[in-house]
Amino acid sequence: MVEDQSSTVKEINLKSELEKDLSYANGQILSSMNCQAEVQAREIFIQNLESNLGDPALFPGTKNIESHVIRILGQLFDLPENGTGLILTGGSEANITALWAIRNNERDRKDLSNSRPLEIIAPQSAHISINKAADLLNLKLISIPVTKKYQIDIKKTKQAISSNTIGIVGVAGTTAFGTIDPLWDLNELCLENNLPLHIDAAFGGMVFPFLPNVQEFNLSFKLKSLISMTVDVHKMGRVNIPAGGLLWKDKTYPMAIEFTLPYLAGNPKQHTLSGTRSGASSVAFAHLWKKIGFRGFQSDVIRCIHNTKFLAGELKSRGFKIPIEPIINILGVQIPDSLSLSQEDFHIALWENGWTTSLVNGALRFVIMPATSRAHLSRLLSVIDQLLTDV
Ligand code: 0PR
């Protein structure tokens, strides 16, 4: 029997609980790829809290705005006219949805029976959401080692392709070091083997297109085998959680995961895990893009990367090792050998001093987001200097 919860559950003091949370605004969160939303984006988000893209007959305007956001993002990656996309809850949902579509398309195209384990190839550097997708979709994940540059090893990828392979995942902006896989080579491999390529640019998607040397990275739907790309707007896209993004080169591709809701007005077709889903982030991003545009995003990206390089240089001069030189605003460092403190303890000490970092792949990771300025980093360096002299 269910009891009256009001008498058994103790009251919670919301205010005192929320006071325990950290805030992006103080510039000291260096462990997160999420950001302090732009003030303008946040206001528009709040005004559109109720909009539901799962029921486009009720919110046709918001649906058009989502399509507009897909075109804005698409422009950054040469998405063809026939392309499409969705604003989802985040990079994990986008990656899972992308692999869901790949699995169904490839299974149907190759007439692969379910008795054979279908295989998906991804670098060891891939985000955990790829493991989740493989688990959910009953795929065998073939994890390819990375090179010294923390990029997928192309030779080993080639060796791993089998008749059960249904696709390859490349990463643009790895979670640990921000590196980007050799996408041109992955594309060639996919073409040779008639396989689709998915790129996880959850973080890098809103960074690489703004770099002066963007062409070098081939992060573009001009790559013939590229089918889908994850690009989050709640990371460097500067809008509130939840706002992941998924682009498909061809409108027909997601039809393999299409479900119709016959009882709703207009019989909407869904290509999403969620039914009810917020339209607020799409409106917030469309508004922000209108206000600050390509150049506004570009100046934030460039500033973040300069700050990251500044921090790398300062830490290097203090004896820290930089296993991978940062190319974007993610820096992984290893503490000096001379230090009697372990990396783990150093990381804890930084947290105790109010600076949050992560331990990823044997390195202390700093993600330098727009809320962190040069002045914040100078304060961080004073804390680090203190820690170095204390031990
Ligand atoms: N792909 C890549 C390359 C990622 O780095 C991430 C997130 C995802 C996909 C998944 O994105 P969602 O978290 O939006 O589903 N990587 C961040 C990380 O592991 C996730 C994160 C964000 C963790 C904020 C903590 C945090 O405070 O660092």
3-state secondary structure 313-328: HHHHHCCCECCCCCCC
Position 1 in a domain: no
The answer on 51 and 23 residing in a single domain is no
Phi/psi at 244 (5° precision): -95, 170
Lay out the sheet containing 358-360: strands in order across.
330-333, 363-367, 358-360
Ligand 1, atom 20, residue with closest C-alpha: 33
Ligand 1 atom nearest residue 92's Cα: 15
Q: Is the CB of 166 under 6 A from ligand 1?
A: no
Distance CA 194, CA 279 (A): 36
Q: Provide CB contacts within 8 A for 375, sequence distance 6+.
A: none
Q: Provide CB contacts within 8 A for 248, sequence distance 6+.
A: 83, 84, 85, 98, 101, 227, 228, 254
The answer on 373 and 284 residing in a single domain is no
- Among 288, 317, 344, the domain-final residue is 288
Choose one of 175, 200, 274 to mutate for the ligand 1 pocket test, by most ligand atoms within 8 angstroms of C-beta: 175
- pLDDT score recorded for residue 30: 97
Q: Is the CB of 245 under 6 A from ligand 1?
A: no
Distance CA 357, CA 349 (A): 10
Position 370 in a domain: yes
Ligand 1, atom 19, residue with closest C-alpha: 175
Summarize the chain as % helix, strand, coil (round to 5): 40, 15, 40
Position 365 in a domain: yes
Position 147 in a domain: yes
Q: Taking Cα atoms as reference points, which of 387, 391, 342 lies closest to residue 364?
A: 342
Residues forming beta bridges with residue 119, ordered by sequence position: 140, 165
**6 sits in which H/E element:** helix 5-8
- pLDDT score recorded for residue 339: 87
The answer on 314 and 276 residing in a single domain is no
Q: Is the CB of 200 under 6 A from ligand 1?
A: yes
Residues forming beta bridges with residue 171, ordered by sequence position: 200
| Residue 179 token pair | 């590196």
Ligand 1, atom 8, residue with closest C-alpha: 91
Distance (Å) from CA 33 to ligand 1 centroid: 6
- pLDDT score recorded for residue 7: 66
- Among 288, 312, 329, the domain-final residue is 288
- pLDDT score recorded for residue 89: 96
- pLDDT score recorded for residue 97: 98
Position 3 in a domain: no
Q: Provide CB contacts within 8 A for 194, sequence distance 6+.
A: none
CATH number at residue 319: 3.90.1150.10
The answer on 243 and 132 residing in a single domain is yes
3-state DSSP call for residue 48?
A: coil
Position 242 in a domain: yes
pTM of the model: 0.96
The answer on 236 and 305 residing in a single domain is no
Q: Is the CB of 97 under 6 A from ligand 1?
A: no
The answer on 48 and 24 residing in a single domain is no
Q: How many domains does the chain have?
A: 2
Range of the domain at 248: 39-288
Q: Provide CB contacts within 8 A for 345, sequence distance 6+.
A: none
Distance (Å) from CA 268 to ligand 1 centroid: 30
| Residue 137 token pair | 């979709």
Distance (Å) from CA 336 to ligand 1 centroid: 28
Distance (Å) from CA 330 to ligand 1 centroid: 12
Residue 347 near residue 11, CB atoms below 8 Å: no
Q: Within its chain, how far is the Cα of 74 from the centroid? A: 16
Ligand 1, atom 26, residue with closest C-alpha: 32
The answer on 13 and 43 residing in a single domain is no
- pLDDT score recorded for residue 390: 82
Q: Within its chain, how far is the Cα of 281 from the centroid? A: 15
Rg of the chain's alpha carbons, rounded to an integer?
22
Distance (Å) from CA 384 to ligand 1 centroid: 26
The answer on 31 and 43 residing in a single domain is no
Choose one of 127, 355, 361, 364 to mutate for the ligand 1 pocket test, by most ligand atoms within 8 angstroms of C-beta: 127
- CA quadruple 44, 49, 53, 55: dihedral, nearest 10: -140
Distance CA 331, CA 333 (A): 6
Q: Is the CB of 278 under 6 A from ligand 1?
A: no
- pLDDT score recorded for residue 3: 60
CATH number at residue 208: 3.40.640.10
Q: Is the CB of 181 under 6 A from ligand 1?
A: no
Distance (Å) from CA 258 to ligand 1 centroid: 26
pLDDT digits (tens, 9 = 90+) for 261-280: 999 999 999 999 999 999 99
- pLDDT score recorded for residue 272: 98
Distance CA 281, CA 288 (A): 10
Q: Is the CB of 254 under 6 A from ligand 1?
A: no
Position 2 in a domain: no
- pLDDT score recorded for residue 71: 98
The answer on 302 and 244 residing in a single domain is no
The answer on 271 and 185 residing in a single domain is yes
Sites in the chain below the pLDDT cut of 70:
1-7, 112-115
Distance (Å) from CA 140 to ligand 1 centroid: 22
Q: Is the CB of 178 under 6 A from ligand 1?
A: no
First to last CA, the chain: 58
Ligand 1, atom 23, residue with closest C-alpha: 32
Residues forming beta bridges with residue 219, ordered by sequence position: none
Ligand 1, atom 18, residue with closest C-alpha: 175
- Among 265, 288, 311, the domain-final residue is 288
Residue 137 near residue 187, CB atoms below 8 Å: no
- pLDDT score recorded for residue 11: 94
Please report the sign of the dihedral spanned by the C-alpha atoms of residue 363, residue 369, residue 374, residue 379.
negative
Residue 87 near residue 282, CB atoms below 8 Å: yes
pLDDT digits (tens, 9 = 90+) for 293-325: 999 999 999 999 999 999 999 999 999 999 999
Q: Is the CB of 34 under 6 A from ligand 1?
A: yes
Q: Taking Cα atoms as reference points, which of 289, 260, 265, 288 lies closest to residue 275?
A: 260
The answer on 173 and 85 residing in a single domain is yes
Distance CA 34, CA 24 (A): 9
The answer on 270 and 233 residing in a single domain is yes
Q: Taking Cα atoms as reference points, which of 26, 21, 27, 22 lies closest to residue 369?
A: 27
Residues forming beta bridges with residue 244, ordered by sequence position: 88
Residues forming beta bridges with residue 199, ordered by sequence position: 170, 229
